[in-house]
Chain A
Amino acid sequence: MATETALVDVGVLFGAVALAGLVANRIDQSVIPFYILVGMGLGPHVLGRLDFPALLGTDAVPHGSSLALAETDFVALGAELGIVFLLLFLGLEFNVDRLLAARDRIGRAGVVDLVVNFGVGLVVGYALFRAFLPAFLVAGVVYISSSAIITKSLIDLGWIANDEANPMLGTLVFEDLVIAVYLSIAAALVLGGGSVGEAARSIGLAMAFLLGLSLLVYFGTALFQRSLDTDSNEFVVLRAVGITALIAGGALALGVSEAVAAFFVGMAFSSTDHVHELERLLEPVRDTFAAVFFFWIGLVTDPTLFAGVASLVAIAALVTTPTKLASGYLGGRIYDLDARRSTRVALGMVTRGEFSLIIASIALTGAGEGLPEDVANTIYAFAVGYVLVMSILGTSLMQYSSPIESRVVPWLESDGTV
């Protein structure tokens, strides 16, 4: 796109995202589907196809593709930074000591969640695509719940002070750890060009890189600590962003998932004294670029493709909502919660969001490489449609939990499950 319009495009992007956030907030919904929808609306597939001047009866307004926002370098790169910061925060929150302290329950609830949902995802994916890699990607998309949306809903609803918060957040941490490993494997498989040898080579490279990063994290705490020792907020932000972007970018240049590299950088920072300071200072940076990421997801999504995947999305939603409900309920039970609180855990875990979209973006990068182009596009459109449905369904289930509880809990209790 021409350079002279770039700044106004950025203005339109952030203005539209800000407005979408306002609307979402007004009607008590998660912002993520709204960011996606507004991106879709302003993108080449919707606005680009509408002939505005024809509607207005004037030629003064530019029309069609010249009016729509395109996927410029800024948007693509901003979206990439969004992924990097989302995963960096995951790493920051991911404290090995805390996880080990609660490993028994988190482990049991997490494994139930993984086996049930990832397993069902594999089956559904294989039934639909008849190949391993698409099934593997679909399984990831339907398995991973949205840390961002669920945590925010927990705080908004005040559940955070209740006992159901522990199994929910614990399971999310487990999922996040799984997804870090999963993303590195998925990226390697998708970019591996399809041949077994190539895939094995890129998985090997990814694992070696991750091993190197883990060693750096393990032995480099003092280094990371020193790198952030300064009184200036400005320097802390710049250094943290610099280190993160450099390592993530380096990883990507080597063909390793930038998201996973960022996760490890977050883990390294999490063992320094600066973790709270970083969270406070980088949160706005993360939210800014995460919004660009969701907008970009919308921008490159052609909603007409939804028609083709509508049945896939419907099947997946019908199958994976009950499985998440079941695994969530069991998770609550593993934490010794009563039927009512376990029901809340179940309702709360249904939401899928940012990580499913990150998997979708990986599928897209593999178009024509590890994946046939039409399969990649189908998985991408499926993931976006699925997230739109599940994020709205999940937050609604949480909001309307009390009528659901009052119907379901007596039945559960009479059923002898107590």
Chain B
Amino acid sequence: MTVYESDLPGVGKKYEIELEDGERLVVVTHNTGKREVFLKPEADADSDKLFELSDRLARTVGTILEGAYFQPVETERVETLLTEGTYIEWYSVASDGELAGQTIGDARIREETGVSIIAIQRDDEVITPPTPETRIEVGDTLVVVGSREDCKEFEKRLGSSDEQ
């Protein structure tokens, strides 16, 4: 597959994408953000306009084509209320956190923050329940139970990029 890119001074940019059996898809991105999509039956044929999209719509459609649109909505953190005042939270372990590489026992998590780690998801495997000897690794997702304050305290020890 080849994509030809060319400048259209005063208009924007043109992308020509070779499809199978010699057809070409032409996308004209206007400086205003508008996208026009054309189809050419062959390289030197005239183009037929298929449709046009606004900037925002084009991005949405593009994401759907990319197959990425229906991934979970990203929130700052996943938070579930177990009972009044008790939360189950999911944290991922970043490389710069102080916990990475320590065992749960050595990190004295329960003693210092008050939360319990009830499960660790590591790749496809779920370690539940983890023991004091279980080592926390970079990339782990920790499932934690505790009060809101305790969870915040725990979050601090995870390091900067602790959101999932």
Contact = CB atoms under 8 A, between A and B. Distances in A.
Interface of A: 93-95, 98, 101-102, 147, 151, 154-155, 158, 160-163, 165-166, 169-170, 172-173, 275-276, 279-280, 283, 338, 341
A275 B9 CA distance: 13
Interface residues of B, number: 21
Contact of B9 (A94, A161, A276, A341): A94
Interface stretch (B44-52, B71-79, B104-112, B119-127): B44-52
Nearest to B26: A161
A160 B28 CA distance: 8
Contact of A166 (B6, B31, B40, B46): B6
B40 to A, nearest CB: 8
B62 interface: no
Centre residue among A94, A95, A155, A161 by max chain B CB count within 10 A: A161
Contacts of B6: 166
Nearest to A150: B10
A174 to B, nearest CB: 10
7 contacts: A151-B11, A154-B11, A160-B28, A161-B14, A165-B8, A165-B14, A341-B44
The residue among B6, B8, B26, B47 with the most chain A CB atoms within 10 A of its own CB is B8
Given A160-B28, A161-B38, A280-B33, A169 B10 contact: yes
Contacts of B9: 93-95, 98, 169-170, 172-173
B36 interface: yes
A158 B49 contact: yes
Interface string B23-67: 000101011110010101000101111000000000000000000
B7 interface: yes
Nearest to B39: A161
Contact of B10 (A101, A102, A147, A163): A147
Contact of B47 (A93, A158, A169): A158
A165 B49 CA distance: 15
Contacts of B26: 161
A160 B47 CA distance: 9
A401 to B, nearest CB: 11
Contact of B31 (A154, A158, A163, A279): A279
A280 B34 CA distance: 11
Interface of B: 6-11, 14, 26, 28, 30-33, 36, 38, 40, 44, 46-49
A162 B14 CA distance: 10
Contacts of B10: 93, 147, 151, 169, 172-173
Contacts of A101: 7
Contacts of A338: 44
Contacts of A279: 31-32
Contacts of B36: 155, 160-161
Shortest beta-carbon contacts, A-B, top 8:
A161-B47, A161-B38, A161-B26, A93-B10, A173-B9, A279-B31, A169-B9, A98-B7
B140 to A, nearest CB: 38
A254 B26 CA distance: 48
A359 B28 CA distance: 33
Nearest to B14: A161
B28 A280 contact: no
A101 B26 CA distance: 22
Instruction: Specify which of B7, B26, B28, B48 lies most central, judged by the most chain A CB atoms within 10 Å of its CB.
Output: B7
Contacts of A158: 38, 46-49
Nearest to B33: A280
B8 A169 contact: yes
Contacts of B44: 163, 338, 341
A93 B7 CA distance: 11
Nearest to A165: B8
Nearest to A170: B9
Contact of A102 (B7, B46, B48): B7
B17 to A, nearest CB: 12
B106 to A, nearest CB: 47
B75 to A, nearest CB: 24
Nearest to B6: A166
Contacts of B48: 158
A234 B61 CA distance: 30
Nearest to A173: B9
A162 B31 contact: no
Contacts of B40: 161
A161 B28 contact: yes
B32 A283 contact: yes
B32 A160 contact: no
A341 B46 CA distance: 10
A100 to B, nearest CB: 12
Nearest to A102: B7
Contacts of A154: 11
Contacts of B49: 158, 161
